[in-house]
Amino acid sequence: MKRYEYQGVEIKVNTWSKKPKEDVLDVMNEYGYLGWRFVAFEPSIKKSESQKVVKLIFEREIPKSEF
């Protein structure tokens, strides 16, 4: 049976423009290059009154040798 591990990456959102402060595709490509697969997007989480983030969720298979 395959096993997976998951990684959540938070990206800060500009409070005025409501747009991510980083290029989301660049982050996705960086994690993809490292063997992670993008699986989900969690929009605009309020961390505090002045800070919001979006969360990208990635997964990758755990090799059987690491079980």
Cβ 11 vs Cβ 27: under 8 Å: yes
Cβ 20 vs Cβ 13: under 8 Å: yes
Q: Give the CA-trace dihedral at 41, 7, 59, 26, to 10 degrees.
A: 60
Could you tell me if residue 9 is inside a domain? yes
Domain total for the chain? 1
Contacts 24+ apart (CB under 8 A), 22-25: 24/54, 24/56
So what's the pLDDT on residue 11? 92
Query: Could you report the per-residue pLDDT of 33-50, keeping only the tens digit for each?
Result: 999 999 999 987 777 777
So what's the pLDDT on residue 18? 79
Q: Please report which confidence band the pLDDT of residue 14 belongs to, taking 50, 70 and 90 as the band edges.
A: confident
C-alpha dist (Å) from residue 54 to 18, 36, 60 = 10, 18, 20
Could you tell me if residue 67 is inside a domain? no
Could you tell me if residue 44 is inside a domain? yes
